[in-house]
Amino acid sequence: MNQKYWDELAENFNERVFEIADNELNQALATTIKKLGKQSRTAGDFACGAGGTTAALAAHFEQVIAVDYAAKLLQQACKRVKGDNIRFVEVDLTKNKSTAIKVDVGFCINALIHPVAKKRKRIAATVFRSLNQGGKAVFIAPSLESYLRTYQVLAEYLVSAGKNRKKTVRKISATAQKEIFSLVEGIADVGAVATKHYLHDEFAQFLEGI
DSSP result, 103-141: EEEEEEES----SSHHHHHHHHHHHHHTEEEEEEEEEE-
Please give the CATH topology (third level) of the domain spanning 3-141. Answer: Rossmann fold (3.40.50)
Taking the model in full, what pTM does it have?
A: 0.88
Inter-axis angle of helices 144-160 and 165-179, nearest 10: 150
Residues 6+ apart with CB under 8 A from 93: 46, 47, 67, 69, 111, 122, 123, 126, 127
pLDDT tens sequence across 15-49: 445 466 666 668 899 999 999 999 999 999 999 98
Q: Residue 126 pLDDT > 60, yes or no?
A: yes
Looking at residue 26, its pLDDT comes to 81
Please provide the average confidence, as pLDDT, over all residues in the chain.
Answer: 89
DSSP result, 46-100: ET-TTSHHHHHHHTT-SEEEEEES-HHHHHHHHHH---TTEEEEE--GGG----S
Q: Residue 8 pLDDT > 60, yes or no?
A: no
Q: What would the mean pLDDT of 51-56 be, rounded to a whole number?
A: 92
Percentage of residues in the chain having pLDDT higher than 70 = 88
- pLDDT band, residue 73 (cuts 50/70/90): confident
Looking at residue 191, its pLDDT comes to 82
pLDDT tens sequence across 164-201: 999 999 999 999 999 999 999 999 998 888 999 999 99
Domain parsing of the chain, residue ranges? 3-141, 143-210
Looking at residue 11, its pLDDT comes to 52
